[in-house]
Structure 1
Amino acid sequence: MKNTLTALFFLLGSLAFAQFPNRTPTPNDTLKSVQIQEDGKLKFSIYAPKSSEVRVSGDFTGGFPGLTLEKSEIGVWSATTSGPVSPDVYTYDFYVDDLKVFDPKNSLSKESNSGYSNLFEISGEENEFQTLQDVPHGRVEKVWYKSETLDGVTRRLHVYLPPNYDEISKTQKLPVLYLLHGGGDNDASWTTAGRANLILDNLYAEGKIEPMIVVMPAGHTGIPGFFMGAGYWQDPACRDLVHTVIPFIDSNYPTLSDREHRAIAGLSMGGVQTLNTALWNPELFSYVFPMSTGYFPPNIQEIKDKHVDVMTNKEINNFKVFKIYMGGETDIAYQNNLNMMEMFDGFGISYQYQNGSYAHTFREWRRNLLDLAPLLFR
């Protein structure tokens, strides 16, 4: 019996070697695709020996339009940023012969509506608010629901539940923040690139925010069209939010479903969706936070021509907080936002304004979330 088992193990081992022959080592085996240098600069590398051109872009300093990598004699392409990169969380994408390639050396990713981008983190004190800390953690649920508003299609959203939710929910109902993503992203983006769950975990640990449910719906619906006009009914995602998502959350989670305990915030495309949803339905929300956004000039004219009644609705000035965030003068929505605020001023709408410095990126929006969350439900 012993000899039979020995022969069997020898046979299985031989088959394994036959199926997985020894592979010739390559420089990729030990390659580090993103390295922080002693001088604070970032070095990007990728092994692509048969390629003719490689670029890298992202929201790191110098990441737009990006860096062109140079090829070494062993097939490794590399480039280094021109200056140091501060501690933060950044996205990046390799383009190999104009094909977007997910970095095979890094599993940390951002999910979007069109695929994945890589993430990397540079540690430092100013970055700690958005990193994994030794604190109690909430949980993030992926939830599927049927949208009767959109002809019964099944859609996905993400829900963040605070630390100790199971105990808290036994004795109390919770307020809700609806947190909307930008164009091209999806309902997972706020918990990958946005680090929303980690930011909120750390704020809870510091005693700076109240327990709340955070709902991150999908802002794209699959319906063709450009839905950045004025009025929530023009955007199928806004209609879905008002008529399906909010009732669904109130029916399936222990929520405080009155206006005083409901907030909405969104960035870029999601910022316009925030405005369209809240300004046309002010009875639903008490806290409103558009980020890096603004109506386009034709839509401002549309509002002035057709929606004066909406802009002069006194309920808008009954928001507890209506705060507009911008990512500085280099934010692509900067001028649209200035135009929009001028229109709001003309209609006598009260709001707060905070201008940042990280342009149209999650570097700015994560800090917006850090600022707005402590303002809620106090």
Structure 2
Amino acid sequence: MERIRNLMPQDLTSQALSFDPVLPWEGQEEAVTRREDGSIYLRIKAPQAKRVVFVIGEKEYDCVQDGQGVWGLRFPYRFGFHFVQLVIDGAEVLTPLLPIGYGYSRPYNFVSLEREGEDFYRLKEVPHGSVRREYYYSTVTDTWESCLVYTPPEYEEAEREYPVLYLQHGHGENEVGWITAGRVNFIMDNLLAEHRAVPFLIVMNNGMVQTENSQGKRMVDYQLFGSRLIRDVIPFIEKRFRVKKDKINRAMAGLSMGSIQTCLTGFCHPDYFAWLGVFSGFMHDFIQGSELDMVQRENSTNEHLALLEDKERFHREFRLLFRAIGEEDPFLNHFYQDDALCRDKGIRHIRKTYGGGHDWNVWRYCIYDFAQYLFR
């Protein structure tokens, strides 16, 4: 019989409520194991179940029962970050035996497996910064909001002021994504230890801005984020933290929906930001008027792109426009459309592609590269 050993990848310590991995209780099994051939297996004990499925990348994978009530699945990937949805007899289940993050607009299980030789996002023996949760009152949503703030390792001892990157997630995620899935704090710690980046703060907000419609129903209006950032977040951060308060020392970046928010905000407020990052990454706003737009607006006229008509002014206002995407991204056509726009308007920018799709395995590389350009 093939020997099976418990798999304890470093990333599996990234529990939502516990740094240490959750130990299986009596009668339950380790959720992730690795066999000698390197293959990964997911396992869950559900003796009364008739069908157990893991949904990975929006595809269903049926588990096989071993006769002892334990259901198993050979995981279709050997490395990378992947959201997984456990479904038992048609009911979606959140298991505490796998790490819990936030995706698809709700708490969600994930599996994160490190690739050999890929260590830029790992927890290493280097000085570490801090990640803290802050609370502020928003005049835009008229309620309390929260953000996460990364401060570099030297922040507590130094007395100087620092630049700031306002970093956004994608649709269906929230402010914890860049930490739990993106591991941006460890990426920055490692870059700083290797002297590949200058120290700066990172502020992560929830871009799925909740509000109420005229009937009092809760909904998301992603376009409110820019106003909240300018009116509420930036003043709060600049009052609470030792940060520089001019546009040369402010950057904004985001992935997917966050990239659209970055362009909507940055292009409309060039007096606020000098550095923009567009990850998997769209300059046109194709969310407005689509099925993702809960406000049910007409399609966007993309008025924010008017700034690109004056390339000399654009290049005076912004020191960097960074655009990047995965080579298997299903939204590549939108990226190509923006390629043509930049080419036609004569807009200088840095453009990168990475192996992978529309997922955190690409976005980790995006922030790793983007961070090394900032505030130089």
The TM-score range, normalised by the shorter chain, is: 0.7 to 0.9
Residue equivalent to 1:115: 106
Residue equivalent to 1:76: 70
Question: For 1:10-21, what aligned pairs fall within 5 Å after superposition?
Answer: none
Residue equivalent to 2:206: 218
Structure 1: 5+ residue runs without aligned partners?
A: 1-25, 229-234
Shift of the 89–131 alpha-carbon distance from structure 1 to 2, 3 Å rule, reads farther
Deviation at 1:56, TM superposition (A): 1.4
The letter for the 2-side match of 1:349 is I
Secondary structure of 2:136's aligned partner:
strand
Shift of the 68–315 alpha-carbon distance from structure 1 to 2, 3 Å rule, reads farther
Residue equivalent to 2:277: 289
Residue equivalent to 1:154: 144
Deviation at 1:242, TM superposition (A): 1.5
User: Structure 2: how far apart are the matches of 1:147 and 1:113?
Assistant: 25
Q: Name the count of aligned residue pairs.
A: 335
Residue equivalent to 2:78: 85
Secondary structure of 2:156's aligned partner:
helix
Secondary structure of 2:211's aligned partner:
coil
Using the TM superposition, name which of 242-251 and 315-324 deviates more.
Answer: 315-324
Residue equivalent to 2:186: 198
User: Structure 1: how far apart are the matches of 2:81 and 2:271?
Assistant: 37
The letter for the 2-side match of 1:70 is V
The letter for the 1-side match of 2:168 is L
Residue equivalent to 1:94: 86
Secondary structure of 2:356's aligned partner:
coil
Question: For 1:341-356, what aligned pairs fall within 5 Å after superposition?
Answer: 341-356=339-354
RMSD: 2.5
User: Cα deviation per residue 1:137-189 (whole Å; 9 max; x = unaligned)?
Assistant: 11101011001122x21001000011021112x2x110000110111111111
Shift of the 299–101 alpha-carbon distance from structure 1 to 2, 3 Å rule, reads closer
Shift of the 33–302 alpha-carbon distance from structure 1 to 2, 3 Å rule, reads closer
Structure 2: 5+ residue runs without aligned partners?
A: 1-23, 213-218, 290-298
Shift of the 315–238 alpha-carbon distance from structure 1 to 2, 3 Å rule, reads same
Residue equivalent to 2:21: none
Residue equivalent to 1:321: 320
Say whether the 8 Å CA contact 1:175–1:255 is kept in structure 2. yes
Bigger fraction of residues in helix: 1
Say whether the 8 Å CA contact 1:27–1:76 is kept in structure 2. no
Residue equivalent to 2:215: none
User: Structure 1: how far apart are the matches of 2:208 and 2:75?
Assistant: 34
Question: For 1:28-107, what aligned pairs fall within 5 Å after superposition?
Answer: 29=27, 31-58=29-56, 63-81=57-75, 85-86=78-79, 88-106=80-98
Residue equivalent to 1:270: 258
Residue equivalent to 1:363: 361
User: Structure 2: how far apart are the matches of 1:43 and 1:35?
Assistant: 5
Residue equivalent to 1:340: 338
User: Cα deviation per residue 1:203-241 (whole Å; 9 max; x = unaligned)?
Assistant: 11111111111000110111266757xxxxxx1111101
User: Structure 2: how far apart are the matches of 1:120 and 1:309?
Assistant: 42
Secondary structure of 1:167's aligned partner:
coil
Of residues 303, 308, 311 in structure 1, which corresponds to 2:308?
Answer: 311
Bigger fraction of residues in strand: 2
Identity of aligned residues (%): 28
The letter for the 2-side match of 1:357 is G
Shift of the 307–288 alpha-carbon distance from structure 1 to 2, 3 Å rule, reads closer
Say whether the 8 Å CA contact 1:323–1:351 is kept in structure 2. yes
Instruction: Say yes or no: does 1:145 pair with 2:136.
Output: yes
Shift of the 308–237 alpha-carbon distance from structure 1 to 2, 3 Å rule, reads closer
Say whether the 8 Å CA contact 1:46–1:76 is kept in structure 2. yes
The letter for the 1-side match of 2:321 is F
Deviation at 1:297, TM superposition (A): 5.9
User: Structure 1: how far apart are the matches of 2:313 and 2:39?
Assistant: 50
